[in-house]
Amino acid sequence: MSQFFYIHPDNPQSRLIDQSMEVLKKGGVVIYPTDSGYAIGCCLENKEAMTRICRIRQLEGRHNFTLMCRDLSEISTYAHVDNQAFRLIKNNTPGNYTFILQATKEVPRRLMNEKRKTIGLRVPSNPIALALLEKMGEPLMSCSLILPGNDFAESDPEEIKETLGKQVDLIIHGGYLGQQPTTVVDLTGDSPVILREGEGNVTPFL
């Protein structure tokens, strides 16, 4: 049975954030709150945990995972960011956006888009997610917790516990969340391209 932590959505308890980090560092799969519903994640280099996530999500073939980053310095480590892209990201993070960028050699090949060698990166605004990323000191490999047959990320941690309580190592209860997905912006070209309009305001990228 997985652990189940009640973490305050606005003032995360340091003790529980520390324990959550330990679960991840030991190879665990963790469900945690973001600004677009619950996500499922693991450490960047953990192939076994990634396989578990694919099994839970019933993902076939290569799935475009996202790197959850704590700030812009991490983004520039894992992606090539020109001046225009840097300004756009800086002005709109933390927030409800996923940015598609050219990956650097720091990104494991299995996480990149196979043809384009791109990666999705996010800096979430959820206080629990940010506290966990700050404590980790590295990005989380992550994807939205969209269960087979559903269209949106899970929003009810009690229901997640009922469904996945025996399949993951930790579920963080960070409140009942909205389900609106992030806005996805491709910043690999000369001009931004909106790939999906979601919670994040698209105006800065038009």
**Is 149 a residue whose pLDDT tops 90?**
no
Distance CA 119, CA 109 (A): 10
**Is 179 a residue whose pLDDT tops 80?**
no
170 vs 152, which has greater pLDDT? Answer: 170
- Tell me if 171 sits within 8 A of 31, measured CB to CB: yes
**Is 169 a residue whose pLDDT tops 70?**
yes
131 vs 149, which has greater pLDDT? Answer: 131
> What is residue 114's predicted lDDT score, i.e. its pLDDT?
78
**Token reading at 34:** 């973001």
CA nearest neighbour of 5 among 28, 53, 17, 177: 17
CA nearest neighbour of 166 among 61, 56, 16, 78: 56
pLDDT in tens, 69-116: 999 989 989 999 999 999 999 999 999 999 999 999 999 888 888 788
pLDDT in tens, 9-28: 999 999 999 999 999 999 99
Domains observed in the chain: 3-205 (3.90.870.10)
